[in-house]
Amino acid sequence: MSSEDNVIKHYNRFLDLADPLLDSYHLKDEECDTLFWYGFHPEDHAMILDWFHPQQTRTYLHLKQVFCTACAIFSQ
């Protein structure tokens, strides 16, 4: 990602695809969170993880947490 706009576009495209799967129970919330996370480049993962407390990163991160953090990072 290179800007907050890119993060927002990624988020909206992801939800366009994920929402019908969530609504039809073909995708669980935790799987959705994981898939959103893996949509980011590994270098972006490192930047995002730096914003979280180490204990938070031992479990999966919620989609909204990742989205808000990525927006904060790329808005700079």
pLDDT score recorded for residue 61? 82
- State residue 8's pLDDT score: 95
pLDDT digits (tens, 9 = 90+) for 9-58: 999 999 999 999 999 999 999 999 999 999 999 999 889 888 886 666 55
Domains in the chain: boundaries: 4-74
pLDDT at 1 over 90: no
Confidence band, pLDDT 50/70/90 cuts, at residue 59:
low
Q: What is the DSSP string of 20-61?
A: HHHHTTSS-HHHHHHHHHTTS-HHHHHHHHHTS-TTGGGSPP
pLDDT for the residue 57: 57
